[in-house]
């Protein structure tokens, strides 16, 4: 077992949701321990309670520092912040659970900044609970950006055979077109290049989507947005030696990427990038925040309060998020 397996901190997310259950189910897989050194940042007693629903038979071991972790299959190391009661109501919004979810992430970022961990993998939090707990952020990504002092970041989605990074995400389509500009497109191309290089791709092949159908087809569609907003960014990146092409028609580009022509696609707006990924399978998709000083991967589903406590939540997205964290984490020296 190689000693350079990345150390991955898994944050428990909202304790009232499915996070504790999918974590216990995922860590039952011995293969995960062959490829990384995982531990949980959360509340040990809620992991123990979750195991009453999912029956993995794993033991939860409380640790107070990463150095104390043993990373041995059969035992779940938990960096125990001890913030929630053992009888926290399941499947309900609570300010305590929202605050705790924030604190787990804050702790993970501190460990990452100290170089104690190589990547963060997040179980879902609940935005309403987060806000009730006094932390007014749209979600994980914005907390991570704020606490690491990151101004330029992007959402990358990864599924088998396809990686997509976004120029804009959670804004309306008219706002997205207004927000796309050469500087932002260039920064996202750079982030794609640097993220894949750190993960071991020597010269990542990047393709950039157009904004309009057929990437504008030489002015036939749209009002010259490609020439104004995308072309200068691609040229600048090419001049720096980055292997990037575009803007290309999005309708054929994703097919070409899944065929292996490109390592990653730069999408201009949310649905342009999300649609193709979701077609490939919701349980396989992973949400990755790039541009941060630390790799962060996440499940691409929510807290699922309606099924929490039933032991039926599917852990595949979390296992895939762990795999991506392993793939993208900077390589530790032997």
pLDDT mean over 160-186: 94
- Are residue 168 and residue 228 in the same domain, yes or no? yes
Asked whether residue 317 is domain-assigned, the answer is: yes
pLDDT mean over 9-35: 96
CATH number at residue 111: 3.40.718.10
pLDDT tens, residue by residue, 218-251: 888 889 999 999 999 999 999 999 999 999 999 9
Confidence at 140, pLDDT banded by 50, 70, 90: confident
pLDDT tens, residue by residue, 249-289: 999 999 999 999 999 999 999 999 999 988 887 666 788 99
Which residues 6+ apart lie within 8 Å of 58 measured at CB? 24, 27, 28, 51, 74, 75, 76
- Are residue 95 and residue 206 in the same domain, yes or no? no
Which residues 6+ apart lie within 8 Å of 280 measured at CB? 159, 160, 161, 162, 258
Burial class (CB in 10 A: 0-12, 13-18, 19+), 4: exposed
pLDDT mean over 23-28: 97
- Are residue 87 and residue 190 in the same domain, yes or no? no
CA 133 – CA 100 distance, rounded (Å): 8
CA 225 – CA 243 distance, rounded (Å): 22
- Are residue 306 and residue 254 in the same domain, yes or no? no
Asked whether residue 2 is domain-assigned, the answer is: no
Asked whether residue 284 is domain-assigned, the answer is: no
Beta-ladder partners of 6 = none
- Our count of domains for the chain comes to 2
Nearest Cα neighbor of 116 from 89, 79, 156 is 79
- Are residue 140 and residue 257 in the same domain, yes or no? no
DSSP label at residue 107:
H
- Are residue 181 and residue 102 in the same domain, yes or no? no
**Which tokens sit at 332?**
């530790």
Do 199 and 328 form a contact (C-beta atoms < 8 A)? yes
Confidence at 333, pLDDT banded by 50, 70, 90: low
Asked whether residue 287 is domain-assigned, the answer is: no
The residue whose two tokens read 């913030």 is 83
Confidence at 328, pLDDT banded by 50, 70, 90: confident
Do 210 and 222 form a contact (C-beta atoms < 8 A)? no
- Are residue 129 and residue 193 in the same domain, yes or no? no
Share of the chain above pLDDT 70, in %: 97
| pLDDT in the model for residue 1 | 47
- Are residue 118 and residue 16 in the same domain, yes or no? yes
- Are residue 12 and residue 148 in the same domain, yes or no? yes
Asked whether residue 334 is domain-assigned, the answer is: no
- Are residue 192 and residue 62 in the same domain, yes or no? no
Q: pLDDT at residue 300 above 90?
A: no
Report the run of H or E that residue 196 belongs to, with start and end: helix 182-198
Asked whether residue 110 is domain-assigned, the answer is: yes
Specify the 3-state DSSP secondary structure of 35: helix
Asked whether residue 1 is domain-assigned, the answer is: no
- Are residue 194 and residue 323 in the same domain, yes or no? no
The residue whose two tokens read 């707990």 is 133
Q: Tell me what the pLDDT averaged over the chain comes to.
A: 93
Strand 7-11, strand 37-42: pairing? parallel
pLDDT tens, residue by residue, 39-71: 999 999 999 999 999 999 999 999 999 999 999
**Which tokens sit at 136?**
């007014």
Do 333 and 21 form a contact (C-beta atoms < 8 A)? no
CA 46 – CA 165 distance, rounded (Å): 34
| pLDDT in the model for residue 200 | 84
The residue whose two tokens read 């949310």 is 270
Domain carrying residue 314: 7-152+292-328
Confidence at 334, pLDDT banded by 50, 70, 90: very low
- Are residue 114 and residue 242 in the same domain, yes or no? no
Asked whether residue 119 is domain-assigned, the answer is: yes
């Amino acid at each position: 077992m190689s000693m350079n397996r990345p150390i991955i901190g898994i944050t428990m997310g909202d304790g009232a949701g499915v996070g504790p259950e999918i974590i216990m189910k995922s860590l039952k897989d011995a293969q995960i321990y062959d490829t990384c050194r995982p531990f949980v940042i959360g509340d040990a007693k809620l992991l123990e309670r979750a195991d009453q629903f999912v029956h993995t038979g794993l033991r939860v071991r409380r640790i107070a520092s990463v150095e104390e972790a043993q990373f041995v299959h059969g035992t779940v190391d938990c960096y125990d912040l001890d913030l929630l009661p053992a009888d926290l109501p399941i499947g309900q919004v609570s300010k305590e659970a929202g605050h705790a979810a924030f604190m787990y992430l804050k702790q993970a970022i501190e460990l990452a900044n100290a170089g104690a961990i190589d990547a963060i993998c997040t179980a879902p939090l609940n935005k309403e609970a987060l806000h009730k707990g006094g932390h007014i952020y749209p979600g994980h990504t914005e907390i991570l950006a704020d606490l690491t002092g990151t101004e330029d970041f992007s959402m990358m989605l990864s599924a088998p055979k396809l990686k997509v990074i976004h120029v804009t995400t959670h804004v309306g389509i008219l706002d997205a077109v207004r927000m796309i500009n050469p500087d932002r497109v260039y920064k996202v191309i750079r982030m794609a290049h640097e993220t894949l290089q750190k993960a071991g791709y020597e010269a990542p092949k990047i393709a950039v989507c157009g904004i309009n159908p057929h990437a504008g087809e030489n002015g036939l569609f749209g009002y010259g947005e490609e020439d104004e907003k995308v072309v200068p960014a691609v040229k600048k990146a090419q001049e720096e030696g980055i292997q990037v092409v575009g803007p290309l028609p999005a309708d054929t580009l994703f097919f070409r990427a899944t065929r292996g022509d490109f390592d990653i696609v730069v999408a201009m707006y949310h649905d342009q990038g999300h649609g193709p990924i979701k077609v490939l399978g919701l349980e396989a998709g992973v949400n990755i925040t790039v541009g941060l000083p630390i790799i962060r991967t996440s499940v691409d589903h929510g807290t699922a309060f309606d099924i929490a406590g039933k032991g039926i939540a599917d852990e595949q997205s979390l296992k895939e998020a762990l795999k991506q964290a392993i793939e993208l984490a900077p390589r530790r020296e032997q």
